Amino acid sequence: QSALTQPPSASGSPGQSVTISCTGTSSDVGGYNYVSWYQQHPGIAPKLIIYEVSKRPSGVPDRFSGSKSGNTASLTVSGLQAEDEADYYCSSYAGSNSWVFGGGTKLTVL
Amino acid sequence: QVQLQESGPGLVKPSETLSLSCAVSGYSISSGYYWGWIRQPPGKGLEWIGSIYQSGNTYYNPSLKSRVTISADTSKNQFSLKVSSVTAADTAVYYCARHPRSGSLDYWGQGTLVTVSS
């Protein structure tokens, strides 16, 4: 069970769009539509922003969207705002009642 | 509203056992969902430690399985984590959270920092 692969950093200017990738294998990301994304600001517990690849929990702005192609999932943040600057983590079900996280991506709003 | 609250010692000596509890309010832990533990070393990413389902079946990260035990006390509506033979590498913020089989952690505790040091 290896961690999912995310780029360490991403950046964009206010109003722009940025996409963060999350690459796994056919045993996790590619095998199930059970990818989640979390936003974490410093010193605070992570917040669920996307579940089951592309669904948004109540209260999460539609600027956040998720998708998946093969073994790679993606999170897109549109219309970047200053408050979107945070760390983002993906996770996936990996079968046999196990779950795995990505290493995290630090998003900077320029 | 579902709320989770971690509690336990903030300092544990090397080779000893780390013990934490997670008190749940607003939802019965025996009514469904998985109840999990996640940790985050300072400045690093998240790691799934393990989960308990329906207060009975337990599932662990293979890399930690030999040292981890998760249990539940339905009378107190709480679940617990034990990590044995700790080293400095176990220093982390430990979170408890709720999730369905898909793994989407929808409710989290605020986290508690556990430092392993003599």
How many other C-beta atoms are found inside a 10 Å radius of the C-beta of residue B102?
20
Distance of alpha carbon A5 from alpha carbon B9, whole angstroms: 33
A67 has pLDDT over 80: yes
The token pair at B85 is 């033979």
> Could you report the per-residue pLDDT of A19-41, keeping only the tens digit for each?
999 999 999 999 999 999 999 99
* Weakly modelled stretches of chain B, pLDDT under 70: 55
- Picking from A46, A70, A68, A40, the residue whose alpha carbon sits closest to that of residue A55 is A68
Q: What confidence tens digit (pLDDT) does each residue in B53-85 have?
A: 986 899 999 999 999 999 999 999 999 999 999
Report pLDDT for B55.
Answer: 66
* Predicted local confidence at residue B54, as pLDDT: 80
Pick from A57, A89, A101: which is nearest to B106 by CB?
Answer: A57
- Shortest Cα distance, chain B CAs vs residue A16, angstroms: 26
Dihedral angle at the C-alpha atoms of A11, A90, A69, A76, nearest 10 degrees? -30
CA–CA dist A6, A20 (Å, integer): 7
Percent of chain A with pLDDT strictly greater than 90: 97
Mark which residues 35-94 of B lie under 8 Å from A by CB: 36, 38, 45-48, 51, 53, 57, 59, 61-63
Closest partner CB to B46 (pick from A32, A89, A96): A89
Identify the band that residue A2 occupies on the pLDDT scale cut at 50, 70 and 90. Answer: confident
Task: Work out the burial of residue B31: count CB atoms within 10 Å of its CB; fewer than 13 is exposed, 13-18 middle, 19 or more buried.
Answer: exposed
Q: In the predicted model, is pLDDT for residue A1 greater than 80?
A: no
Contact: A45, B53; criterion CB under 8 Å: no
A36/B102 touch (CB, cutoff 8 Å), yes or no? yes
Report the gap between the CA of A78 and the closest CA in chain B (Å). 22
pLDDT bucket at A51, cuts 50 / 70 / 90: very high
Q: Mean pLDDT in chain A?
A: 97
